Amino acid sequence: MENISGGINNYVYLNGLLLNVLFENWQGQKIVDSSEKVFKSAYNTKWYNMPVAARKLLIMIMMRSEKPSALKVGKIIVLSYVTFNAVLRLSSSYFMLLRSLQ
């Protein structure tokens, strides 16, 4: 009975960790998507109806938004769906390795 209870506790704990990592990467992906929309929106404006000063500002906005903003962990890892997928693949590989060693 203790073995089943311990297994359930581990299952709940791992699901909680998985949901936490998913939520953090989801928020990072939303930031990346939103910053990409800035460039597309600026590109699709009717710039030819704007005054010259506004056109120059629009060019500056487009230059800045070419590189999408991102939420980073330790200035190294960008949080996104790609990172979440990599974490899942790596953790499943480690799990299979540990399981094969038993």
In this prediction, residue 1 carries a pLDDT of 59
Rounded to whole angstroms, the Cα distance separating 92 from 14 reads 12
Count of CB atoms situated within 10 Å of the CB of 41: 12
| pLDDT for the residue numbered 59 | 93
- Domain containing 43 equals 1-101
List pLDDT tens digits, range 33-85: 999 999 999 889 998 899 999 999 999 999 998 888 898 988 889 999 999 99
pTM: 0.75
Q: Report how many domains make up the chain.
A: 1
pLDDT of residue 2: 66
Confidence label for 86 from pLDDT (cuts 50, 70 and 90): very high
